Amino acid sequence: MEAALIVHELVEMILTKHRGITWGEIDRFDMGHPELDDPGADPRAPYHLEHLAAEQIEKQMCILLGLPWAEYQAAFDALKFTNKE
């Protein structure tokens, strides 16, 4: 599961860097929309297309690893995240 998540983040990082989208832009959008469970999925996100592309590759990784997407999503959803600003 960690490998699929890491691949998602790596692809997203490479694509956002390629398009000149900064960490600051991403953080401002993410932190400015705490109501969103998945900010990158929102069409207003500056990295929306990059997020969708990374998610497709993440799904392919799950297929190749024999990990059902629903099971992977359930495990991810069970994680607790905190903002430690």
Per-residue pLDDT at 76: 83
**Over the stretch 27-74, which tens digit does the pLDDT of each residue have?**
999 999 999 989 999 999 999 999 999 999 999 999 999 999 999 999
3-state SS of the chain is CHHHHHHHHHHHHHHHHHHCCCHHHHHHHHHHCCCCCCHHHCCCCCCHHHHHHHHHHHHHHHHHHCCCHHHHHHHHHHCCCCCCC
pLDDT greater than 60 at residue 82: no
Global pTM? 0.86
Identify the band that residue 84 occupies on the pLDDT scale cut at 50, 70 and 90: very low
